Structure 1
Amino acid sequence: MTVAVASTTIPGPATTKKKVNFANLGVGAAMNMFEVTTLGQPFEVIKTQLAANRQDNMATAFKRIYQRGGIAGFYQGMIPWAWIEASTKGAVLIFAAGEIEYVALGSGISPFAAGLVGGMGGGLAQAYTTMGFCTFMKTVEITRHKATGPSVSTFAVASEIFKREGIRGINKGVNAVAVRQCTNWGSRLGLSRLAEETIRKLRGPETSHLPLTGWEKIAASAIGGGLSIWNQPIEVIRVEMQSQLKTTGRPEKMTIANCARWIWQTNGLKGFYRGSVPRFGLGMWQTICMVAGGDALKKFVNEKYAKH
C-alpha cells in the first residue's frame, strides 16, 4: 500500500506530483486484491487464530485452521469481506496518503517524516471509511466456529449482529482498527521511505539521484513492512475486541482499555505478542505488493494512458 502514495513520486531530491485519476485508484484496488488473494489472507487467518487463542502455538494454530476446512480454512473471511475491504481501502489510501505526503514534502520535511505523516493520515482514513465493518466480519468468520457453528451463512451472522447491536455492533473495535492502521501505515510508509533514502546514500553521490531498481524497491518495502511489527499489541487488542469466542470472565462490553487489562490478566506480557510471526510475514508481503508491485503497475498504467 505504500503505492498508496501513488500520486507522489520521490525519485531523489526532486518531488513531483501526478494527477490522481481513476486509473491510479484502480491500481490500489487491484494490488490489494492480489495481495489478499495470494498470501495475505492465509497470513491474516493464522495471525488472528493465534491472537484470539493465545494458548495456541504455531503448530496447533495450523492444525485447527486445517481442521475447519482444509486448505480453504486458511482463506476464511476472504469472500466477501476481505475482497470488499481490499477493493476499497487501497483507493482510499492512495488518495489520502498521497495528498498528505505531497503537502508534507512541500513544507520541507524529510521523506521519512512526510511518509510517516502521510501513512498515518491514510491509515486513519481507511479505518473509518471502509475497514471497520469488513475487518470485524473477517474476525467473526475466523473466530465464530466455536460459538455459532459453520452452517450459518456469513450474511446471516452479519444480519443477526446488526439486529442485536446496530451500527456500533458491526463496527465493534473500529477505534482499535484506526489505531492499528494509523501506526501500521505511518511506520510502513515512513520506514520504507527511510530505507529508500538509505539505499540511495549507499550507492554513492554519483547515482543517488537515480530511481530505485525493482529489487531495491522490494528490499526497501520489505524492511518497512517487517519493522512495522512493533505495534502487535494493538493488533492483539483489536482481535480480542472483535472475537466471537466466549470465555469465562471476559468483559461483555470491551473498550481498548479493559480489553488490554483482560489480555494482561489472562496471558501477561507475552499475550500482546501472539501472532507476531505471521504478522511479520503479512507486513512484508503487503508492503512489497503495495509499494514495489504497485509502483510498477502504476507506472505501466500511466505510461499507457499518456499515449492516448
Structure 2
Amino acid sequence: MSNKIEKKPINFSNILLGAGLNMAEVTTLGQPLEVTKTTMAANRSITMPQAIKLVWSRGGPLGFYQGLIPWAWIEASTKGAVLLFVSAEAEYQFRKLGANNFVAGMGGGVSGGLAQAYLTMGFCTCMKTVEITRSKQVATAGVPQQTSFQVFKEIYKKEGIRGINKGVNAVAIRQMTNWGSRFGFSRLAEETIRKINKKGEDQKLTAIEKILASVIGGGLSAWNQPIEVIRVEMQSKTKDPNRPKNLGVLSTAQYIYSNNGIKGLYRGVTPRIGLGVWQTVFMVAFGDIFKRMLNADGAGH
C-alpha cells in the first residue's frame, strides 16, 4: 500500500457549491443573527430582546437584513472559494511535513480562515458593521438618505484602505480560531457519534449524524466571542466620546473591559452560538452531504 500523500483535486463544482451554500446561509437566518449579535456587541448595556426591538425599529423585518446587499453577498460569494483553495493547499503541505489528518485539517482551516480575513472579509465585515451601527439620518425634505456605497466612499476618502479594513486583524484572529474550532469540534463530535453508534472509519455517517456533529461543533466554536466583540467595537459607528481613537486589538479589549467588565466581552454570545450552529450546519454538514451527492469531494472525506 502506497504512503504517497496526494492532494485532493479542487473541482469547479466544489467552488460553486461553497459560494451557493454561503449565499443560502447568509440570506436565510445568517444575516438576522449577525445583525442581532453585532447590535448587542456594539451596545453592550442592552439585553437580547432590547436588541431585537432596536433592530426592528430600524426598518421592521428589513432591519434584520441591513448590510446583506451588497456586503454580505460579496463576502459570501468569495470567502468559500478562498477557504477551499488555501485550506486544501495548506492541508497538503502539513501532511507532507508529517502531521496527522486531524492536525493537518486544523492547520488547513486556520490558514484558510487567515486568507479569508485579509483577502475578502476585512472590508466586507467592516462595511456590514458600519451599516448595522451607523446612526440613521433623520428624514428631511429634500435631503436624500446616504446609500451604503456613499458611506463606503466617504470612509475611503477620509481614512483610505485602513479605514475600510478597520478591525481586519481582529477578523483574522476570529476566522483562524473559528475554522480551527468548527473543524476540530465537528470532527471530534463525529468520532464520538461513530463510537456511540459502533460505526467503523469506513462507514459513512447519516445526514442526521452529520448535522448533529455540526451543531455541536458550531455551538462550541462560540468560545472566541471576546474576539468578535473587539472586532465589532473597532468597526462600530456608535457614538461614544470616551472611546479612544486609533484602537488596536489590545487597547479595544482594555476599553471594553474597563467599561463593561468581563461580561462586556461576551455580549451577543447567544445569537453568536445560533450563528455558529447555522454556519457550521451549512458549510460542514450540508457541504459534505451535497458533495457526496455531486460526487465532488474527490477521494475520501
The two structures have a TM-score, normalised by structure 1, of 0.89
Which secondary structure does the structure 1 equivalent of 2:74 belong to? Answer: helix
Give yes or no for contact 1:119–1:190 (8 Å, CA) kept in 2: no
Q: 1:304 Cα deviation (Å)?
A: 12
Deviations 1:129-155 (A, max 9, x none): 100010100000000125898921000
Q: Equivalent pairs: percent with the same residue?
A: 61
> Residue in 2 aligned with 1:203?
197
1:165 to 159, 182, 199: 159
Is 1:24 aligned to 2:14, yes or no? yes
Q: 1:111 Cα deviation (Å)?
A: 3.8
Q: 1:95 Cα deviation (Å)?
A: 1.5
The answer to which of 46-55 and 252-261 deviates more is 252-261
> Residue in 2 aligned with 1:239?
232
The answer to which of 189-198 and 225-234 deviates more is 189-198
2:238 maps to a residue whose letter is L
Is 1:125 aligned to 2:127, yes or no? no
1:260 maps to a residue whose letter is A
1-structure distance, mates of 2:137, 2:105: 42
Gap regions ≥5 residues in structure 2:
none
Give yes or no for contact 1:85–1:130 (8 Å, CA) kept in 2: yes
1:233 maps to a residue whose letter is P
2:263 maps to a residue whose letter is K
Gap regions ≥5 residues in structure 1:
1-14
2:235 maps to a residue whose letter is Q
CA shift in 2, pair 1:104/1:192, >3 Å: farther
Give yes or no for contact 1:187–1:224 (8 Å, CA) kept in 2: yes
> Residue in 1 aligned with 2:212?
219
2-structure distance, mates of 1:171, 1:160: 14
Alignment root-mean-square deviation, CA: 2.2
Deviations 1:84-137 (A, max 9, x none): 000000111111123323443455544432332121111001001100010100
> Residue in 1 aligned with 2:286?
293
Which secondary structure does the structure 1 equivalent of 2:134 belong to? Answer: helix
Q: 1:43 Cα deviation (Å)?
A: 0.5
**Number of residue pairs aligned between Structure 1 and Structure 2:** 291
1-structure distance, mates of 2:118, 2:236: 19
Which secondary structure does the structure 1 equivalent of 2:156 belong to? Answer: helix
Give yes or no for contact 1:195–1:223 (8 Å, CA) kept in 2: yes
Q: 1:163 Cα deviation (Å)?
A: 0.3
The two structures have a TM-score, normalised by structure 2, of 0.91
Deviations 1:288-307 (A, max 9, x none): 000111122223333699xx
CA shift in 2, pair 1:115/1:224, >3 Å: farther
2-structure distance, mates of 1:276, 1:304: 33
Is 1:112 aligned to 2:111, yes or no? no
> Residue in 2 aligned with 1:153?
147
